[in-house]
Amino acid sequence: MNWTSIIAIYVLFWVLCAFVILPIGVKTHEELGLEKTLGQADSAPGNFRPGIIILRTTLLSAALFGLYYVNYTQGWIDRHSFDFLVTPPTSN
C-alpha cells in the first residue's frame, strides 16, 4: 500500500470518527444551568471542547485504522469471507 493511500484512508477514518465522537459528552446550556445568548439555538452546546474531541477522534481513528491495516496485510477478512451471503450463479 502506498503511503499516499495510507494517509487518505486514515483521513477518511478520522473524519468518520469525528462525526461519531462529536455528540459524546456535549450538554446544552439548559442542562448546564447557563444563560443562553440572544438568538442561540436551544440545542447549541454549552460545553464545546474541541481539544478533547480532537484527542478522542485521533485515538479512535488510530485504533480503527490499525485494525484495518493489519487486516489488509494479514488477510483476516477478504472478499471470499462473504460468499455465504450470495449464491453463485450456476451454468445451465
Domain that holds residue 54: 3-83
Q: Does a structural domain hold residue 59?
A: yes
Residue 89 placed within a domain: no
Whether 7 shows a pLDDT value over 90: the answer reads yes
Confidence of residue 57 (pLDDT cuts 50, 70, 90): very high
Q: Report residue 60's pLDDT band, with 50, 70 and 90 as the boundaries.
A: very high
Counted domains in the chain: 1
Q: With respect to residue 78, please indicate whether it lies within any of the assigned structural domains.
A: yes
Which of helix, strand or coil describes residue 28?
A: strand
pTM confidence score: 0.78
Side-chain-side CA neighbours of 85 within 13 Å: the count stands at: 4
Is 88 contained in some domain? no
More confident residue, 62 or 27: 62
**Do 32 and 47 form a contact (C-beta atoms < 8 A)?**
yes
Over the stretch 18-45, which tens digit does the pLDDT of each residue have? 999 999 988 988 888 888 888 989 888 9
